[in-house]
Structure 1
């Protein structure tokens, strides 16, 4: 089997199905189409836009491939696709310290979908064999495909749809992965917040104190200066997150791709940058939950859904806002100022979300389970955990 996988062209037969590496655009389409069948009866699965899903796995369309490589596999039974998986290696992740999650010899698997446990087990083993042939001695997963995209397997919160850029999965996947010898290494948490309610009195006093401090300015971004504002946020992000588990720096090709993808749902009043003595030191990005708009599209923008989406983007009215990223520079992270800036940004965007977009709830995260600072902030403003994503590890 290893020799076959190393050649990258052979088909592996097991039981009543076969597993093979994908070889063409038609295969990539089959790879993307599979979840539409497997989740057809799941009311909480959000069909992704097929163009974006294809872009994720197409090297020419995803800047992540500028420092990574991947092999995708399909499982087929009597001509029908019944499973899929990716095996991938990020060269930047290999350079990170091992105690931060990745490190030398660490590959990943992701994008796992399977019709049954036998198919899942065989797919996982196939991904492991490919990684082993590439010289890897450890694997993390599921990570699809970058830690900045959809890391982790959903293990809590199956009863409501995910927000934009978050994953969904069948409950049985957990047992299948753990049955393949994987053990939990990190949990990623998302928190739900009723943004119609004012924050507790203590938080309000902290915010008012910050507003009286002439050293602090919390401003909206200027979308007309998109590249300049993005550079400011990226500098804070790379500093603030650099010691976090799973951190891999974003590269210029990735930043360009993310900018193209997210720019249509970037609104000035939903992204804030905090300045201290005129220096940017913190940021908060909030996005209207695009999933609410695209769910009825069933993965297709054309011929008419593109116009519906463009109309929605003019001035979204949306129930849920998602906060995918926040950051405060490391030099302030152990200070009271960090919490104060966070509370101020959250409060300003809370007011805006309710008043300008008709929103009633927010989802904050993901947040690492050992990020006590952010978890404390979430608890203080009465957030509750609504989803848990598990990252697993296994020695090869």
Structure 2
């Protein structure tokens, strides 16, 4: 008999966070997130808590956890898309249709009680955090802040009446194979007369974070499911970037001294924590610091990139993106980065996909965002 348990205390939350480590224990591509980070994610320390109300559940069978799910209501999302929206997320479970049915029933009943009728997901906790259900690419580990999953998840989710909203793609690129075809190189040389690329100015870090936030919110505002980053969210992100990202992995593009685009390269923290099993103590901190600051990691991810909307459909817009990628490539070489993931890219973003594929990147993972009308 399967029992659904609402998470209401720290003991249950710990079970919620650690369940995937048991579920994926025989998966060589599973990387356990840091437990302390996951605990903060589901606490007031998560800046998204300012505008998201959430609840989580566990599924138990004979006293053992066999599944989990979350449900969220985002006031910022509702302000843009209507007061009847809601989301699900953090879905992990054994391959049992009844477990999935009961978990989704609990999440949907809670969402309905909050006035939600249009459900999208999975998000953890919104689209600016971990998003999407892995559909293809199970044979490689996830990069930092990307999700993993089981191959049966998609079928089980679709059995609950969810259909494809949109797919997200992750591109993989080996730095040694990056090349700019002559036609693109010519456009880039011409654009250099107008566009300047600079590193982030750490002496004005908070002001620079606000510049990046404004660019991102402009660049992504027309994308599927867009929710703007708040000042609080970007400030907290900035605190993390100070620790994780060297100054020369954040670049800003300017035209006439006005910022118009940016790119961030993030050393792949998943590579650094792969053998820590989610624990920083007693020696995990020392290992993590050594790997990030001394021995280095060999892979990276580009989690954020944007060109202001007024330039996206101009002739120079795509070239600005190429100039930023070129600048980041040089920085990665300095830090001995050998390969990177660029993610995520909306499947419908033909322009960016075309750019990436022309310079040698290949799509290697696919994630799906689902939707359902209650």
TM-score tier, shorter chain, comes to: over 0.9
Question: Which residue matches 2:315?
Answer: 336
- Measure the CA separation in 2 of the matches of 1:83 and 1:135: 25
- Measure the CA separation in 2 of the matches of 1:123 and 1:131: 12
SS at match of 2:360: coil
Tell me, yes or no, if structure 1 residue 362 matches structure 2 residue 340: yes
- Measure the CA separation in 1 of the matches of 2:122 and 2:258: 38
Q: 1:205 aligns with which of 186, 203, 211?
A: 186
Decide whether the 8 Å contact of 1:288 with 1:316 is kept in 2.
Answer: no
Shift of 1:204: 2.3
- Measure the CA separation in 1 of the matches of 2:225 and 2:129: 12
Tell me, yes or no, if structure 1 residue 105 matches structure 2 residue 105: no
Q: 1:50 aligns with which of 32, 35, 44?
A: 35
Tell me, yes or no, if structure 1 residue 310 matches structure 2 residue 294: no
Q: Normalised by the size of structure 2, how large is the TM-score?
A: 0.96
Any unmatched runs of 5+ in structure 2?
Answer: none
RMSD: 1.3
| Structure 1 consecutive aligned stretches of length 4 or more whose deviation exceeds 4 Å | none
Decide whether the 8 Å contact of 2:144 with 2:301 is kept in 1.
Answer: yes
Question: Which residue matches 1:143?
Answer: 123
Decide whether the 8 Å contact of 2:210 with 2:231 is kept in 1.
Answer: no
Q: Deviations over 1:139-198 (max 9, x none)?
A: 111111111111110001100011101000000101100111110011111111121123
Q: 2:359 aligns with which of 364, 376, 381?
A: 381
Question: Which residue matches 1:172?
Answer: 152
Decide whether the 8 Å contact of 1:274 with 1:281 is kept in 2.
Answer: yes
Shift of 1:260: 2.7
Question: Which residue matches 1:274?
Answer: 253
Q: 2:167 aligns with which of 159, 163, 187?
A: 187
Question: Which residue matches 2:302?
Answer: 323
SS at match of 1:299: coil
| Count of residue correspondences | 372
- Measure the CA separation in 1 of the matches of 2:238 and 2:195: 28
Q: Deviations over 1:235-270 (max 9, x none)?
A: 111111111111111123322332233321121111
Q: Deviations over 1:259-297 (max 9, x none)?
A: 233321121111110000110011011111111000111
Question: Which residue matches 1:38?
Answer: 23
For 1:50-129, what aligned pairs fall within 5 Å after superposition?
50-58=35-43, 60-97=44-81, 103-117=82-96, 118-129=98-109
Shift of 1:348: 1.5
Shift of 1:315: 4.3
- Measure the CA separation in 2 of the matches of 1:387 and 1:223: 34
Tell me, yes or no, if structure 1 residue 217 matches structure 2 residue 202: no
> In the superposition, relative to structure 1, how do residues 79 and 44 fare at CA in structure 2: closer, same or farther (>3 Å)?
same
Shift of 1:25: 0.9
SS at match of 2:228: coil
- Measure the CA separation in 1 of the matches of 2:166 and 2:251: 29
Any unmatched runs of 5+ in structure 1?
Answer: 1-15, 98-102
Q: 2:176 aligns with which of 196, 210, 213?
A: 196
Shift of 1:71: 1.0
